[in-house]
Chains A and B, each alone.
Chain A
């Protein structure tokens, strides 16, 4: 049996333009819970837009709304890639 693939992809590992669906979330961090209140929940689809100066924070778009979050919280969101531009 082949070992399972590399550790799963998170919101912190994406490139601008990537379209992803949230698969699972590590919910312990209250800041992660605040992001869930903004709609970053399992099953939600979002687009990774860009990183700020210095690589952090990140900007994602979810159903038309742009949201900024730091890498620390982004790495708690495990995602599945739906599409990558180019």
Chain B
């Protein structure tokens, strides 16, 4: 068949300076290719934010179609106008113009997967009833053709009350010229003719309106229909008399059956009749590719594939990310040195170099890891593999009170809990989702590794245990301890505050599909933008606060002592010996400053609380400094133990080994170190994680609970290990 001619100029090259003349809602089933269509129509001119009060992403973009500028709103995917999740509710509320700050859409662009027209028609039937100008984009038409499906477009348009139905392929751009010109005229298009899908519902709604209108209601008939069906969606403003009328009408319409069940039966009866008229199904002969996909989808091959994939992801996150991370690290250090040499020594230089650049830099270093991890997650999402993985492990996850949909967030928190908590959005059940969010920070993230490496390297003896190395075993044990903590937390929460019906697992499993480079790139760019924005705001603030606490108050006595010592050294030493001595003097001065700083004072102040764990004031101070970002602890220990910023960890390890209490006994005994490691395994020392929990649960309750719970658990664990080990 002949594909329509392509537009020569990609639409995103056309400058947009005109105001949009209308708003078009992009609506469709999940996984119908809605975002790909949206991206192709709006290019980079889009804006992502959250809807007020919920964590559902609001994506708005602008496009010019044949000289007409339109705003497009990409609504969350939904199967029906009877919402069953927060995402779906937003989609429905926007369509009815019930969301503050979002105009009621003037027209609808329905994006329907041509290989799943059965479910698509169900939604289309309800959209047509809204009586607004509408276009249907039938996506993945190439896949449908491969399966041998054929469509009678004229019959389909007729069944839908005369709306235009256009075949498109979002990945290749096929059919978009026609879609663009249809969009140019959509505002002027006649609304769909009324189609009598379900006469009984219509007359019940008309009956309600007739009696309500006299009481001054401006309710639309479709809204009245929704009120009849969606028992849970009746707004509080509806008066008791009206509620009684509603209940009576429901009784006549549905009897004892749940309204949703009756609705599904009624509408799918029409869908089946219509489907038989507009689509001739394929031969059913599987192609080679389909057979391969079917085989990979079988439980055991799929499980093997999942294991290999996870291995590759871990490898990628740890190995591939190292060169770019080192590059960034070197760049940040160079920047610090360059800025430091320009600024005069003093408060400003210290703030810019040690506070802002080093602090924000220590987080930006994680950008390659986070992007690589997200690349894999986006690829899994885009190919439909994510749903497959959830299907595979659902049974296993159920034993700990979670469902298959928790597995991907939990696996990705081995890199970083922040993106993993954002990834929990795929979990529809709120209790399930919160249990997953609170388990995720237990997984050993990349920021824990510097701490583990330092302490294990310095205090766990290098010896073989059978085939294994003891240091490696301890590291492995810490990963296991994290997993155990997470699972126990999920179990605990699911049997107490988050108790509820066993989560169900209903998931449409999308067909395997090659990823679309454009969609993947745009999603990745979005993630990078969000991460960098946070580094520039929250992380910057945290770094500034930690710097202030370690820098002030300044004691002139320390500087005088340093100057005196330097003069003395210069008098008695020369050459490399002098260099070394001066370095030692600087380190000593840095340590003395820190001891008098607010952080040092705080460390001494809280020391009694941590003494049962075997910690001295210096560890206490470092741990406090590490609360906003746990990896900070290595840098602070480095300063406190007077090794200076440039010393490598082995030197720091040596210093730690040599550290003693006032009575001369060593601070870092094996029980104390194991306790400290356990503390780091379980404690929630990450402001970014707390902020994202706050954002995703939309309440302060859960981040505060998570912080207190994990801190208590870490403290208790460290206390137990130290006391038992020292006894």
Q: Could you tell me which A residues sit within 8 Å of B by CB distance? A: 25, 27-28, 30-39, 41-44, 50-57, 59, 62-70, 72-73
B606 at the interface (CB under 8 A from A): no
Q: CA A25 – CA B268 in complex, angstroms?
A: 14
| Interface set of B (CB-CB < 8 Å, partner A) | 79-80, 82, 84, 115-119, 122, 147, 149, 257-258, 260-261, 263-265, 268-269, 271-272, 275, 281, 297-300, 303, 387, 391-396, 404, 502, 504-511
Most buried by A among B115, B149, B268: B268
Residues of A within 8 A of B119 (CB): 38-39, 63, 65
CB of A51 to closest CB in B, whole Å: 7
- B268 touching A44, Cβ below 8 Å: yes
Q: Is the CB of A55 within 8 A of B506?
A: no
A37 near B79: Cβ-Cβ < 8 Å: yes
**B82 closest partner in A (C-beta):** A37
Taking the nearest CB of chain B, how far is it from the CB of A44, in angstroms?
7
Contact A39 B511 (CB under 8 A): no
User: Nearest residue in A to B144 (C-beta to C-beta)?
Assistant: A64
- Looking at chain A's contact residues, is the secondary structure mostly helix, strand, loop, or mixed? mixed
Q: Is the CB of A68 within 8 A of B275?
A: no
Give the CA-CA distance A54 to B268 in the complex, in Å. 33
Q: Nearest Cβ in chain A — how far from B312, in angstroms?
A: 21
Taking CB atoms, residues of chain B closer than 8 Å to A69 are 504-506
In the complex, the 6 A-B pairs of residues with the closest C-beta atoms, listed nearest first: A54-B395, A63-B118, A36-B264, A27-B261, A31-B504, A66-B509
User: What residues of chain B lie closer than 8 Å to A33, measured between beta carbons?
Assistant: 258, 260-261, 264
A53 to B391, CA, bound (A): 9
A48 to B604, CA, bound (A): 67
State which of B396, B502, B508 has its C-beta within 8 Å of the C-beta of A38. Answer: B508
Tell me the smallest distance from the CB of B683 to a CB of chain A, in Å: 34
Distance in Å: Cβ of A73 to nearest Cβ of chain B: 6
B264 touching A68 by the CB < 8 A rule?
A: no
One of A42, A66, A70 near B511 (C-beta < 8 A) = A66
Note all chain A residues with C-beta closer than 8 A to B391. Answer: 52, 57, 59, 68
5 CB contacts below 8 A, A to B, read: A30-B260, A57-B404, A59-B391, A64-B147, A65-B115
User: Which one of B264, B271, B394 has the greatest number of beta carbons of chain A within 10 Å?
Assistant: B264
Please, which residues of chain B bring their CB within 8 A of the CB of A53? Answer: 299-300, 303, 392-393, 395-396
A56 x B118 contact (CB < 8 A): no
**CB closest chain-A residue, reference B78:** A37
Most chain B CB neighbours (cut-off 10 Å) among A27, A55, A59, A66: A66
Q: Does A67 lie within 8 Å of B509, measured CB to CB? A: yes
Nearest chain A residue, comparing its CB with the CB of B511 = A66
On whether A37 and B272 interact (CB within 8 A), knowing A53-B393, A59-B391, A67-B508, the answer reads no
Residues of B within 8 A of A51 (CB): 299
In the bound complex, do residue A38 and residue B269 qualify as a contact, i.e. CB atoms below 8 Å apart?
no
CB <8 Å contact, A65 and B508: yes
In the assembly, what is the distance between CA of A65 and CA of B263, in Å?
A: 20
Q: Contact between A52 and B392 (Cβ–Cβ < 8 Å)?
A: yes
> Which residues of A are found within 8 Å of B268, using beta-carbon distances?
36, 39, 41, 43-44
- Contacting residue for B299 out of A32, A50, A62, CB 8 A: A50
Residue ID in chain A nearest B265 by CB atoms: A41
Chain B residue with minimal CB distance to A32?
B261
Q: Complex: how many Å from CA A27 to CA B259?
A: 10
Q: Report how far A68 CA is from B392 CA in the complex, Å.
A: 10
Is A66's CB under 8 angstroms from B261's CB? no
Chain A residues with CB below 8 A from B297, complex form? 50
Known pairs A37-B122, A41-B265, A57-B394; A52 contacts B508 (CB<8 A): no
B116 contacts which chain A residues (CB < 8 A)? 63-65
- Cβ distance A61 to chain B, nearest Cβ, rounded Å: 9
- Across the interface, do A27 and B395 meet the contact criterion of CB distance under 8 Å? no
Q: How far is the CA of A59 from the CA of B509 in the complex (A)?
A: 8
Given contacts A57-B404, A63-B275, 6 further A-B contacts (CB under 8 A): A36-B264, A38-B508, A39-B122, A39-B264, A64-B117, A70-B394
Contacts of A37 in B (CB 8 A): 79-80, 82, 84, 122, 260, 263-264
* A64, A66, A70, A72 interface centre (most CB from chain B within 10 Å): A64
**Complex alpha-carbon distance, A37 and B78, angstroms:** 11
Q: How far is the CA of A69 from the CA of B404 in the complex (A)?
A: 11
| Cβ–Cβ < 8 Å partners of A39 in chain B | 118-119, 122, 264, 268, 271
User: For the complex, what is the distance from the CA of A56 to the CA of B271, rounded to whole Å?
Assistant: 30
Determine the distance from Cα of A4 to Cα of B122 in the docked complex, in whole angstroms. 37
Minimum CB–CB distance for A9 against chain B, Å: 20
